[in-house]
Structure 1
Amino acid sequence: MKKFEHYCSNLNVLSRAGQEDLTNEFIIGGIIDKFHIQFELGWKVLKELLKYEGRQEGNTGSPREILKAAYSIYGFLDEEIWLSMLKSRNSMTNIYDGIEAQKLVHVILDSYIPEFIRLRDNLQKRYPSLVETL
């Protein structure tokens, strides 16, 4: 399976998170874990596309640099949301409080999943045959 296919497959599961029992701590933990995977897949897809576009930033391993470069090419990305996702991803290991975990899940449902979907849809439009090879 290729990166973009993984991205879409994981997103299909994550996008159903709102239908789950959001009071169950195992469900909450699973949503947070799926978000982490989705974010990793997202910035790595962007990294491959930056390389394809001939951008030097595609050679770096830094998610922040990849995201910053991607904003300059892909106007459909919401910089504020992606930086918030990066911050959430980096602080996830420090979430021990159930209330904080529930807050993060609501942010994932309300902001992050729609942004992941926006990325998927726009990349499919911009690179109809290329995304299948990523």
Structure 2
Amino acid sequence: MKKHDNYVAQLTVLQGAGLEDLSNEFVVSGIINKFTLQFELAWKLMKETLAYEGDMAAVSGSPREVLKAAFAAYDFIDEDLWLEMLKARNELSHIYDGDAAAQMVSRIIEAYIPQFIAVREGLDELYAGVLF
């Protein structure tokens, strides 16, 4: 599945965020942009897997609805963290402060990337050889 391949490829890049020079404003901006892309790939991948399972939430175009259905379907998804990520993704265009951006990057590295990895591992376990 192309969505899975894109998700895994981008996650591989994002996982290197903690090794970068986080004092560099350009790097911080790049990590935030990569997070936004990874989040989009994640919920669309979940939408695709839910559609495979016949879940009607996959018909909606809403990330919130897809995420809520994914919480119910998959035990490897942290509901509170995903809702936090959705809120962060929605607010990122309003971050103008360097300190706020640095705090966001810390949260991406410490919490969000591990959750993206958990989703990759969980979906791979469920659908390897079937969808991917």
Q: TM-score, normalised by structure 1?
A: 0.96
The answer to whether the 8 Å contact 1:85/1:112 transfers is yes
| Secondary structure at 2:42 match in 1 | helix
The answer to whether the 8 Å contact 1:47/1:58 transfers is yes
1:129 deviates by: 1.7
CA distance in 2, matches of 1:18, 1:108: 9
Within 5 A, what are the aligned runs for 1:26-37?
26-37=26-37
2:88 counterpart letter in structure 1: S
1:119 counterpart letter in structure 2: V
Q: Once the two structures are superposed, what CA deviation does each residue of 1:97-121 show, in whole Å capped at 9, x if it has no partner?
A: 0000000000000000000000001
What is the RMSD computed on CA atoms of the aligned residues?
0.9
Match of 1:58 in 2: 58
1:60 counterpart letter in structure 2: S
The answer to whether the 8 Å contact 1:123/1:131 transfers is no
- Counting matched residue pairs gives 132
Q: Once the two structures are superposed, what CA deviation does each residue of 1:62-108 show, in whole Å capped at 9, x if it has no partner?
A: 00000000111101100011001000000000000000000000000
Q: Which blocks of at least 5 consecutive residues in structure 2 are unaligned?
A: none
Identity of aligned residues (%): 51
Match of 1:23 in 2: 23
- The 10-residue stretch of structure 1 (76-85 or 122-131) with the greater mean CA deviation from structure 2: 122-131
CA distance in 2, matches of 1:121, 1:107: 20
Match of 1:83 in 2: 83
Residue 9 (str. 1) matches residue 15 (str. 2)? no
CA distance in 1, matches of 2:28, 2:12: 17
Runs of 4+ in structure 1 off by over 6 angstroms are none
The answer to whether the 8 Å contact 1:20/1:27 transfers is yes
Q: TM-score, normalised by structure 2?
A: 0.98
The answer to whether the 8 Å contact 1:3/1:45 transfers is yes
1:130 deviates by: 3.1
Q: Which blocks of at least 5 consecutive residues in structure 1 are unaligned?
A: none
